[in-house]
Structures are given as C-alpha cells and as structure tokens.
Amino acid sequence: MLFNELNLLKNIQHAITDEGYTNPTPIQEKSIPIILDGNDLVGCAQTGTGKTAAFAIPILNLLHRIVGSSSKVKHIRTLVVTPTRELAIQVAESFDTYGKYTNIRSLVIFGGVNQTSQVDQLKKGVDILVATPGRLLDLNKQGFIDLNHLHHLVLDEADLMLDMGFINDVKKIIKLTPDNRQTLLFSATMPIAIRELADSFLTKPEYVSVTPISSTAEKVNQKVYFVDKENKRNLLYQIIQGEKLESVLVFVRTKHGADNVVKALKKQNIHAEAIHGDKSQSARQRVLESFKRNETTVLVATDIAARGIDIEMLPYVINFDLPNIPETYVHRIGRTGRAGNSGMAISFCSRDEKTYWQDIEKLTRQKVKVVTDHPFQWSEEEKNPDAKPDFRNKKKPLGEKKTSESNSRKSEASKKKKKRWY
C-alpha cells in the first residue's frame, strides 16, 4: 500500500512526501483507516514501528477539516498523554513535521521546568497538547487547561505509564475529557491492567497488533557473556576499547548504576555520559544531541529514560544489567538494526541474573551465542549457582566413612566410652 491510497488531505500528503515516505509501515497501514473512520483503537506496537506517525497523521487529517482556517478560535482538540519528557518531545515533533502545511498549533508540556512559558502558550490557544501526566493535572488544577472541546485522546506507551505508577493519574485525566471523544491507546505490551483500562474507557475499540514481541530479536545479532557482577565494568571497557566500538547505548537498572558506569569509563578515557530521570531536561537533551553527533562514544541509560530516545543509526546495544521483564530486553535490542542496518546486542549475565536470561530465551525462542573466550567468566566451582546441596543419605564409595562418622565433633575416646541405651 502507498500513502496516497489512504485518502489523506494534500497538505498532510505533501508533508509525508517531504520526509521521503511512500509506503506506510504495518502499524500505520492498519491504524490510519480505523482512526480516520472515528473508531476507538488499541494498538500493540513497540519502538521503531512508526507508531507515533500512525496516530499523528490521521489526527492531523481530521483536525485540519475542523481548524483549517487560521481565524478559528484555538481549543485543545487533541490530547496525547505520554509517560516521559523525551517521549512527549518526540511526539510533538512528529505532529509538527506532518502538520507543517496546516494551521494546526501544537504544544508540549512536562514537569521539571518552569511552567511560565508553557502557560503563556496555553493562553494563546493550541489545537494539540502533548503532556506528561503530572504537569497536565497540575496545570488543569490551576485552571490553565480546558478539555471540554476535546475530540481525540491518545494514551501513548500505556504499559510504561503503568510501570511508572501513573495509571491512577491517567484515570483522572480520562475523567476530565468528554464522553464522546475518540480514544486511542498504544502500548508495547498488553498486560492485564492495560486491557482492563481499555475495556473501562474505550468504546468498542478495534485491536491492532504488529510484529510479535518475540520476533524483533531475530533481526539483531546477539551474544551473551556470563560474567561475575564485580567484573562487568572491566568487561565493558575491554569490549569497547578492544573492538573500538562507537555509538554504544548501554542499559543499566538504576540511576546510581548509570552514574557509576560513566565514572568508570571516563577513568579509562572513554567519552561516556548518562541519561536518567535525575538529570534536568536541558542536560538530557544536551547529552542526547552530543551522542547523535558522535561526540559522546557511550550513552548509559535506564529503561525509562531510554524510551524517549530516537536514534536511527545505532549499531550497538549493551545490556550491562539484564532486565527482569523479558519484553524489556526485546525493546532494548530493537533500538539497533533498524531500517535494514546491521545491529549488535551484547548482554552481560551475572549469577543472580541467570533466571532473567532463561526467561529472555524462553520469550525470544532463541539460543544466543555464548562468548567464553574472555577472562571474566563465572568461576568453575560456581558455574551452577542454582544447584542446592543434597543432604540425603547416599551410598558412599567403598572405604569412605559415613558423614556421621567423619564429621562428628566427638573424640574417638569419647565414642568408645559412650554407653548404648539398648
């Protein structure tokens, strides 16, 4: 299918052509007609599938018919709720890109920055508002946001909002909107809580799913190192330095861990930077731009911060810490090997992460290449950390004393003097 077969307005089609796109991705091909028909939709699609354009393009098409004239009074007609600042910025940029030949005005708001400029823009009037939950509820409470004219509500990355504890905020936001709105929910995974949310607040939604989560991993070269936890930093340095890797995205579990990895790499004269929730918005943007310009060799990130990172050419992903949710592994490595480019995913697995790795292999249905020629392998005596000592009585080899005899704390003289009760 071609974009020009989707009955889009010329203004929107022109912007799509400017971006060099002629064929919609599977999620776009399935979602755009449903949204144009005004139906509610639940889309299951992960990072890199063209999900944002799948809702931005049809919404712009619908809005342009309503607010095409610049003389129209600006009301918030579309609200997109995203869990992180990076994602919010990314979504807003998509609306700006595909709506550049329209009079549609969009605004992105998020916490962590002064609200003054955001409030000023809201007072001027906007058609599309992209927001994180906290700042949205805060400005609504202050009376700066009116959702009574809303036509479209989009809940983006719903599973991440669930993981971050925003689900109650999302429910509050939904209750602020008109009942006759069109609601679109997109999520990389579909846990029960997300399905329940869809059942509660969407009206006869159509379900769209593309690229099963387990299949994305097949497109990326993968290998795993079984390494003691205390040697992970040494191994990371050895791989980056030894193989002269550049543009490396390293995933860690915690913010503190990200900072520690960066410190260790900088001591070895590797230009590394961290991106996580404790960094200011300006600092995160600065680090990200530096990485995109190849001024920073290694970007160390937590999963939540990385959801909003959009980098087209990313050759290497390293899982310094394995995720405890196997789907997260697929999201991580799905950031490399895009658009026909080759990609490599390297994972470090310590003893206490062995069950995580087993769950990952079960989900992806793949046996990943194990690298053994490195100096930081699990020590021989502890290769099977799950094995438990067997205290059951076993037949001993001939001539070997029984445990009770050999391990007794009594002296031989005491044993000889012991009186038998029978």
Side by side, the strands of the sheet bearing 248-251 are 272-275, 298-301, 248-251, 316-319, 344-349, 221-226, 369-371
Distance CA 119, CA 137 (A): 13
Q: Which of 184-193, 225-234, 275-284, 335-344 has the highest mean pLDDT?
A: 225-234
C-alpha distances in Å from residue 252, one per residue of 48, 233, 347 = 21, 12, 11
* Tens digits of residue pLDDT in 15-63: 999 988 888 988 999 999 999 999 999 999 876 678 899 999 999 999 9
The stretch 156-160 carries a mean pLDDT of 89
Average pLDDT, the chain: 85
With vertex at residue 345, the alpha carbon angle to CA 342 and CA 350, rounded to the nearest 5 degrees, is 170
Of 8-17, 199-208, 249-258, 302-311, the range with the lowest mean pLDDT is: 302-311
DSSP string for residues in 74-115: P---EEEE-SSHHHHHHHHHHHHHHTTTS---EEEE-SSS-S
Give the phi and the psi of residue 282 in degrees, each rounded to 5: -65, -40
Of 167-171, 281-285, 397-401, the range with the lowest mean pLDDT is: 397-401
* Residue type, position 256, single letter: H
The predicted structure's pLDDT at residue 223: 94
Higher pLDDT, 10 or 338: 10
The predicted structure's pLDDT at residue 265: 95
The predicted structure's pLDDT at residue 215: 60
Distance CA 70, CA 102 (A): 9
- Which residues does residue 226 pair with via DSSP β-bridges, in sequence order? 349
The stretch 185-197 carries a mean pLDDT of 87
Q: Residue 217 carries which DSSP code? A: G
Distance CA 176, CA 148 (A): 8
* Residue type, position 55, single letter: F
Closest among 60, 6, 87, 73 to 277, alpha carbons compared: 87
Q: Which residues contact 347 (CB under 8 A, 6 or more apart)?
A: 222, 223, 224, 225, 318, 319, 322, 329, 357, 368
Residues 210, 49: contact at Cβ < 8 Å? yes
Q: Is the pLDDT of residue 377 over 90?
A: no
Q: Which CATH number fits domain 3-209: 3.10.20.600, 3.40.50.300, 3.30.1330.40, 3.40.309.10?
A: 3.40.50.300
pLDDT band, residue 375 (cuts 50/70/90): confident
pLDDT band, residue 130 (cuts 50/70/90): very high
- Parse the chain into domains and list their residue ranges: 3-209, 216-382
Residues 98, 62: contact at Cβ < 8 Å? no
CATH number of the structural domain 216-382: 3.40.50.300
The predicted structure's pLDDT at residue 392: 52
The predicted structure's pLDDT at residue 71: 58
DSSP string for residues in 150-184: --EEEE-SHHHHHHTT-HHHHHHHHHTS-TT-EEE
Q: Is the pLDDT of residue 406 over 50?
A: no
Q: Which of 115-124, 158-167, 288-297 has the highest mean pLDDT?
A: 115-124
Q: Which residues contact 280 (CB under 8 A, 6 or more apart)?
A: 112, 113
Residue 269 tokens read as: 């004269």
Q: Residue 216 carries which DSSP code? A: G
Distance CA 39, CA 35 (A): 6
* Residue type, position 124, single letter: K
The answer to whether domain 3-209 and domain 216-382 are alike in fold is yes
The predicted structure's pLDDT at residue 296: 93
